Structure 1
Amino acid sequence: MVFTPGEKPGLEQDEVKLQNASKQIVQTAILRALQQVSQESQQKETPPNSGANLQLERGKLTKKHEKK
């Protein structure tokens, strides 16, 4: 293996680690987006004035504020 001046032998390993981390981030983002779409489609199926839907929305608001 030949290295150009300034290039370190571990550079290729670092690039592979970065690529793997990037893939994992993208996969996680896709899964979260799919879950969100699924939840939103389920909410559309529930009548907007039902008590269960109102309680569900209250729980989501509480959880969002707790994360901050």
Structure 2
Amino acid sequence: MVFAPGEKPGLEQDEVKLQKASKQIVQTAILRALQQVSQESQQRQAPPKGGPSLQLERGKLTKKHEKK
């Protein structure tokens, strides 16, 4: 096997390891984001009982107005 100047044996293996690690990091991040979206969606569908409900409005978290 012939290596170019500056190349070392095993450099290709390191590259493959980095690619696999990067792929795993991206997959984990996507999975976590999907779980978070799912949880937020479920929370919006079923607001907690007993307390004032909160609503996201124009980027601000506000208390939903309740009838007295």
Q: Decide: shared fold, TM above 0.5.
A: yes
Point out the structure with max Rg over C-alpha.
Answer: 2
> Structure 1 residue 9: deviation in Å?
1.0
Larger relative helix fraction: 1
In the alignment, structure 2 segments of 5+ residues that lack a partner are 54-68
| Equivalent residues in 2 for 1:51-66, closer than 5 Å | 51=50
Partner of 2:39: 39
Provide the aligned C-alpha RMSD in A.
1.9
TM-score (norm 2): 0.68
Runs of 4+ in 1 over 4 A off after TM superposition: none
Partner of 2:14: 14
Larger relative strand fraction: 2
Bigger RCO (CA 8 Å, 6+ sep): 2
> Structure 1 residue 32: deviation in Å?
0.1
Distance, in Å, in 1 between the alignment partners of 2:39 and 2:6 is: 50
TM-score (norm 1): 0.68
Aligned length: 52
